[in-house]
Amino acid sequence: MSDIEIGAFPFVIRRGKPLLMIITNRSGKAWILPKGQPEDGLSNAQVALLEASEEAGVEGKLVAPLRHKDFKRRGGGFLRIYPLAIRKVLRKWPEQSFRKRELVSVKQALDLVTHKEHVEAINYFTSPEKLKQLARSAKS
């Protein structure tokens, strides 16, 4: 396993409130953000887009000015998360047969997600200051 995993923070703003797309892990026992390993020939940002599409069935755009944020993982290394403004929710996606997905409020996400670095990412990107930046960037 590499020292870094690449993930996406897929979100949409509805009525001024963020909704997050979370997914189950492969075993179906834990709720997480879409993530995966770096891939040869792809930038980390491209991997984040790919993982969101393959695992969560969402497409969108990575939003600036936040770009990405790194979170330490339990076993060492870190998880690099890119905020992704959802533009399209796919009816069919590559990993739909073994993953569930849910578009949930921040509170619901925090109640369901248990991996420490995923919880930290949710808290980071939904802090009032960051949320304003995301909402502005998602509109453009």
Alpha helix stretches (DSSP H) within the chain? 44-51, 106-112, 116-125, 128-139
pLDDT in tens, 13-70: 998 899 999 999 999 999 999 999 999 999 999 999 999 999 999 999 999 766 789 9
Q: How confident is the model at residue 104 (pLDDT cuts 50, 70, 90)?
A: very high
What's the predicted TM-score (pTM) here?
0.94
Are the C-beta atoms of residues 71 and 79 closer than 8 Å to each other? yes
Two structure tokens written together for 19: 């909704």
- What is the per-residue pLDDT for 1? 47
DSSP per-residue codes, 8-43:
EEEEEEETTEEEEEEEE-TTSSSEE--EE---TTS-
Q: How confident is the model at residue 2 (pLDDT cuts 50, 70, 90)?
A: low
- What is the per-residue pLDDT for 108? 98
Whether the predicted pLDDT of 135 surpasses 90 = no
- What is the per-residue pLDDT for 66? 63
Residue 116: how many other CB atoms lie within 10 Å: 13
Amino acid at 118: H
